[in-house]
Chain A
Amino acid sequence: MSCPRCQAEEKHCRLEHEGREAGEIIWKVFYCQRCAFTWRDSEPTESIDYEKRDEWFQVDPDQPDQYPHNIPPAKLHKNK
């Protein structure tokens, strides 16, 4: 398993929650600790299969500067 959005390895994918009915697991929710994507393993492939997802929605956590701050932290203000 890897992140459907940034392809981070399994060790970065945190199990968030298991949906159960009468003790049986219906689905699992995961969270990518690298790109902050959340997904459920029961979702349609357009949302959770890296190959089928629209490329436009890929995120590269190694390029954080690509993603602007909507409110820069105060520490950033002070450094500037």
Chain B
Amino acid sequence: MAGKNKSISSQAKAVAERIHCLRDYLDLLSEHGQFIKWPEAVMPEPDIRKIAVASGRDSMGAPAIMFDNIRGYPGRRMVFGVHGSFSNIALLLGYPKGTSIKELFYELIGRWGSDKPLIDRIKAEDAPVNQNRIESDINLYDVIPLYRVNESDGGFYIGKANIVSRDPLDPENFDKQNVGIYRIQVHGPDQFSLLSVPSHDMAHMIRAAEAEDLPLKIAVMIGNHPAMAMFAATPINYDESEYGYASQMMGSPIQLTTSGNGLDIQAGAEIVIEAELINNKRTLEGPFGEFPGSYSGVRHVPLFKITAISHRDNPIFENIYIGRGWTEHDTLIGLNTCAPVYSQLKESFPEVVAVNALYQHGLTGIISVKNRFAGFAKSVALRALSTPHGLMYLKNLIMVDEFVDPFDLNEVMWALSTRTRASDIHVIPNMPLVLIDPAAEVPGKGHRLIIDATSFMAPDPVGADSKLVMPPSGAEIDELARMVQELQRRAEKS
């Protein structure tokens, strides 16, 4: 992927060097008031769900929340919202909380395409995840406080695990080791199903194992390095390692060790479940409240048998609330959805300034671009539709001028209100579309909508009163905005 190979700031480096696992990140969040422990006992349902929905209202500032008093699960603890706000993401990237989404977007873009993978190997006996090991009488409920995320889910889900697997046809190849986030439904004390989109790496491995009747061993890592949680969901090529990618993005090494079943796992993970595919066996899975804000249906899905569980002392079950937005899922994958679309567009059109594809994994995107000539933004929109992510996701596209911050919806609404004419709205029907879009007329097909909300240019007729006010902008104004916030904070304290 194209990148500018920008060096990481010294502050970002300092943050990266102190974070090796979830606990380190929670410490950092705590220092900045971004991590709280829930003060009362909660029932697994519906309390956890209600608190998660309430905290999700604040996409800029919500803290991570830990429950350590869950009724019926004495001594067990869980955390959600670790990536639940842009302030949490800002701290991970070495920025102060409250940093604008646009600044974080540029930081992420700048980190792309740098350095080689940074991996620290830790001996299995020294890895915190191996402090405890269960190989017989396995019962997930003894280790993980499982609960129903949304009220009509088909069961109890683990929604934020990093799952590592190796190509069963090429098991020695580190680069063909896949780490991804796939939803897991528990089907008993030692069994679970795993849902992979048929085109994803995991599905490729399942098909290969079953076709050749080979074992497919996997490790499910729960409570992970915060960069792994963020970047394991980023689409990269089949022969690129997610571990390498996450370490590059952080600018510091990821600590790996070997699991009991021979896979590379994070040494500081809270819990690692080792499991094996039960070849050709399927179970009913779902429904599950997914990120478009509706339930996916019930399907037959592959089933895995747990062979061992390793966990740290007093392990933390990290999970995610996902449902109708805004949820942690949107913050977790939002910037990573924007960045590849931007970098692919930028290769063809240097006039592209920023891409906001935060909404429902990019079902709606807002692109700011400097018009080279009248109608140019519409051509850029068509190019966006043919990027790998755009092909299936970018359904609604709003094009705005280069001076409009696409992450600031007040500015976007200004553009829609004052720049859009009927002839600027284009609908392309019967296009390919991601299966899970609930608005699709048939699953897999749908419309594309382009709204060109950029300014008028000759030979277009230029409207009356068309001379724009150009208020001061740029780094100086960003700095002044920060100063206002800081003065406000001080005023609050005094």
A-side residues, CB < 8 A to B, are: 5, 14, 16-17, 19-21, 26-27, 29, 31, 35-40, 42-44, 46-47, 53-54, 57, 59, 61, 64, 67-71, 73-75, 77
On chain A, the residues within 8 Å of B113 by CB distance are: none
Which chain A positions have C-beta within 8 A of B188?
A: 14, 16, 31
| Docked-complex contact B152 and A54, CB < 8 angstroms | yes
Shortest Cβ distance from residue A34 to the other chain B in the assembled complex, whole angstroms: 9
Describe B's contact surface by its main secondary structure: loop
List residues of chain B with CB within 8 A of the CB of A38: 148, 154-156, 185-187
Residues of B within 8 A of A57 (CB): 152, 287, 295
- As a 0/1 sequence over residues 278 to 312 of chain B, the CB contacts with chain A under 8 angstroms (1 = contact) are 01111111010000000101111110000000000
CB-CB under 8 A from B148, the residues of chain A are 38-40, 43, 47
CB–CB A17/B141 < 8 A? yes
B187 touches A27 (CB 8 A): no
Q: Beyond A21-B72, A39-B148, A40-B45: 12 further Cβ-contacts under 8 Å?
A: A19-B72, A19-B73, A27-B71, A27-B72, A36-B285, A38-B156, A42-B72, A43-B46, A44-B151, A47-B151, A67-B284, A69-B299
CB interface residues, B 194-216, toward A, < 8 Å: 195-198, 203, 206-207, 210-211, 213
**Cβ-Cβ contact count across A and B, 8 Å cutoff:** 114
CA distance A23 to B281 in the complex (A): 37
Q: Are A67 and B280 in contact (CB under 8 A)?
A: no
Residues of A within 8 A of B280 (CB): 73-75
Q: Which residue of A lies closest to B286 (CB)?
A: A67
Q: Is the pair A47, B189 in contact by a Cβ cutoff of 8 Å?
A: no
Closest Cβ of chain A to B47, distance in Å, is 11
Q: Tell me if A71 and B285 are in contact (CB < 8 A).
A: no
- List the B side residues contacting A31 at CB < 8 Å: 155, 187-188
List the A side residues contacting B43 at CB < 8 Å. Answer: 42
B150 to chain A, nearest CB (A): 9
10 closest pairs, A vs B, by CB?
Answer: A19-B72, A38-B155, A74-B210, A26-B72, A17-B141, A73-B280, A36-B284, A69-B300, A43-B45, A74-B211
B195 touches A44 (CB 8 A): no
A36 near B46 with CB under 8 A, answer no
Distance A31 CA – B148 CA, assembled complex (angstroms): 13
The smallest C-beta distance from A59 to any residue of chain B, in angstroms, reads 6
Residue of B nearest to A73 (CB): B280
Q: Does B44 contact A (CB under 8 A)?
A: yes
Q: Which residues of A contact B302 (CB under 8 A)?
A: 71
Given contacts A16-B141, A43-B46, contact A36 B283 (CB under 8 A): yes
- Cβ of B282 and Cβ of A59 under 8 Å apart? no
* Bound Cα distance from A35 to B148, whole angstroms: 17
Are the C-beta atoms of A64 and B300 separated by less than 8 Å?
yes
The distance in angstroms between the C-alpha atoms of A20 and B229, with both chains bound, is 32
